[in-house]
Structure 1
């Protein structure tokens, strides 16, 4: 939660310009870093998945990936005050119900901030069929991209035809099923190139590609550069 100042922040290799009253939601394993910053004052809240309200955890998956969200001053003030309560409770470690109070306070802040994201606040009461299928596909993709690479396999898991799944994704996102599968795989490859010292061949194998030359070509096509060039650019 950025109270003052501004700068450029990067989440999963996409840069965002941020200003005062911005909120950023970052998932575990997402690569994130400050590119530049000035006169910044911010609060950071770290909450492990097991401490989140299960319904909140489900909704957080729906809004991923999420860029920074700029709040109006009044809304940001409420969030800041709720965050201040979390900090004060954290310091009162001798309270008998310290852990439960901290958990509830943090969930209140998470729920409030989450409810500000347009994808949740502007959801229709009865979402169109293609939007429901697109959402379910994306959740499945995040769970199975390491082992499931075929559009027809995802269609089978959703009990629909591959052609209909493709139609729903194109109507909802403007892109094909294969596009989303490849984007998710290459995003994971980028994360491994950044976080680990594994070779590109080892990463290809970890992501389910025994055909290293094919994986190398796929990475170059999606990322616009070779895997080694990407690593050198981001770690140099």
Structure 2
């Protein structure tokens, strides 16, 4: 396991990408030169990858993926990830911040669960490759008077193709139930407020519904009650900090909104089946 830092490194777009968009095509040689890719980190932007050739091994929030070409990979802001290995790989990358995303697409990206890499058939691979090529060409046309507008439009078109693949795989339909709507709204609120709000009542109040109805909706669509999801989201963040930083368990408990350190320790043990220190010392490699 690589050495830990005081906090999880957060990668931001470099100054030369001050418009909030970066797009390009890279061979394996570029990836090998980047130590950052192999060290655990997160982004403050949305990260889309089209793997065109070769094989890669990613770790994303403690899940490992063996990815063969051609595939789509989406890494959401704040997901902790690293590249474990890459062989004869060629890929296209798009990094884009919230401000440059169409609101509809941003909402969909926030709603999809942690997205697993998707393999592509030849038809969809060809279409997405062409869309990426357009984005790359427009990205280089910095003297164009409509540079940012045309670049944003083309990148959003590309993202719509990504989203269509994820939505197709998840078999979402146009008509969804009230249970689904409430469950999605809860998950969005949870992602934004899990440090501050730990009670189901907090989320029920936010959604203007009763606790019992919120539980009914969430359990109907996911199989688990609201409390389970709150605890799982907190524990995921705790795992990230335990594994990728050198903050003490007490510091992590405080950062996650638990003044009662002993309670947090019991919760972690109950949820994961091991103590926080055992998890920290476990070698995932």
Distance of aligned partners of 1:174 and 1:208 in 2 relative to their CA distance in 1, 3 Å threshold = same
Q: How does 1:98-113 map to 2 (within 5 A)?
A: 98-113=147-162
Instruction: Give the TM-score taking structure 2 as reference length.
Output: 0.76
Q: Secondary structure of the residue that 1:134 maps to in structure 2?
A: helix
Q: Which residue in 2 is equivalent to 1:22?
A: 71
Note the C-alpha offset of 1:194: 4.2
Deviation string for 1:144-193 (max 9, x for gaps)? 11111111221222222222222221210111111100011111122233
Higher helix share: 1
2: distance between equivalents of 1:157 and 1:123? Answer: 26
Tell me if structure 2 keeps the 8 A contact 1:63–1:119.
no
2: distance between equivalents of 1:76 and 1:233? Answer: 39
Out of 53-62 and 148-157, give the one that drifted further.
Answer: 148-157
Out of 185-194 and 138-147, give the one that drifted further.
Answer: 185-194
Q: How does 1:142-181 map to 2 (within 5 A)?
A: 142-181=191-230
Q: How does 1:24-39 map to 2 (within 5 A)?
A: 24-39=73-88
Q: Which residue in 1 is equivalent to 2:99?
A: 50
Distance of aligned partners of 1:151 and 1:121 in 2 relative to their CA distance in 1, 3 Å threshold = closer
Structure 2 gaps of 5+ residues are 1-49
Structure 1 gaps of 5+ residues are none
Q: Which residue in 1 is equivalent to 2:274?
A: 225
Q: Secondary structure of the residue that 1:3 maps to in structure 2?
A: strand
Matched, 1:207 2:256: yes
The correspondence for 1:123, drawn from 154, 163, 172, is 172
Out of 101-110 and 115-124, give the one that drifted further.
Answer: 115-124
Between 1 and 2, higher relative CO (CA 8 Å, sep ≥ 6) is seen in 2
Instruction: Give the TM-score taking structure 1 as reference length.
Output: 0.91
1: distance between equivalents of 2:227 and 2:152? Answer: 40
Note the C-alpha offset of 1:195: 4.5
* Greater than 6 Å deviation, 4+ residue runs: none
Higher strand share: 2
RMSD of equivalent CA atoms? 2.0
Tell me if structure 2 keeps the 8 A contact 1:209–1:215.
yes
